A and B are shown apart, each in its own frame.
Chain A
Amino acid sequence: DAKTTQPNSMESNEEEPVHLPCNHSTISGTDYIHWYRQLPSQGPEYVIHGLTSNVNNRMASLAIAEDRKSSTLILHRATLRDAAVYYCILRRSGGSNYKLTFGKGTLLTVNP
Chain B
Amino acid sequence: KAGVTQTPRYLIKTRGQQVTLSCSPISGHRSVSWYQQTPGQGLQFLFEYFSETQRNKGNFPGRFSGRQFSNSRSEMNVSTLELGDSALYLCASSGRLAGLSYNEQFFGPGTRLTVL
A: residues with CB less than 8 A from B are 32, 34, 36, 41-46, 49, 87, 91, 93-94, 96-105
Pairwise interchain contact B105-A46, C-beta atoms closer than 8 A: yes
Given contacts A32-B102, A43-B92, A98-B105, 7 further A-B contacts (CB under 8 A): A42-B107, A43-B4, A45-B106, A46-B105, A91-B102, A98-B48, A99-B56
Residue of A nearest to B45 (CB): A99
The reply to whether the CB of B22 lies closer than 8 angstroms to some CB of chain A is: no
The B interface is mostly helix, strand or loop, or mixed, namely strand
A-B contact list, 10 entries, CB within 8 Å: A43-B4, A43-B92, A46-B105, A46-B106, A49-B102, A49-B104, A96-B55, A98-B50, A100-B43, A101-B45
Pairwise interchain contact B42-A98, C-beta atoms closer than 8 A: no
Cβ distance A103 to chain B, nearest Cβ, rounded Å: 7
A45 to B33, CA, bound (A): 14
Q: Known interface pairs A32-B102, A91-B102, A93-B102. Does A98 touch B94 (Cβ–Cβ under 8 Å)?
A: yes
Pairwise interchain contact A45-B43, C-beta atoms closer than 8 A: no
**In the complex, chain A residues whose CB is within 8 Å of the CB of B4:** 43
**In the complex, chain A residues whose CB is within 8 Å of the CB of B109:** 41-43
The A interface is mostly helix, strand or loop, or mixed, namely loop
B: residues with CB less than 8 A from A are 4, 31, 33, 35, 42-45, 48, 50, 55-56, 58, 90, 92, 94, 101-110
**In the complex, chain B residues whose CB is within 8 Å of the CB of A100:** 33, 35, 43, 45, 92, 105
Q: Known interface pairs A43-B107, A44-B107. Does A94 touch B90 (Cβ–Cβ under 8 Å)?
A: no
A82 to B87, CA, bound (A): 24
Cβ distance A57 to chain B, nearest Cβ, rounded Å: 11
**In the complex, chain A residues whose CB is within 8 Å of the CB of B107:** 42-45
Pairwise interchain contact B101-A98, C-beta atoms closer than 8 A: no
**In the complex, chain B residues whose CB is within 8 Å of the CB of A41:** 109
**In the complex, chain B residues whose CB is within 8 Å of the CB of A105:** 42
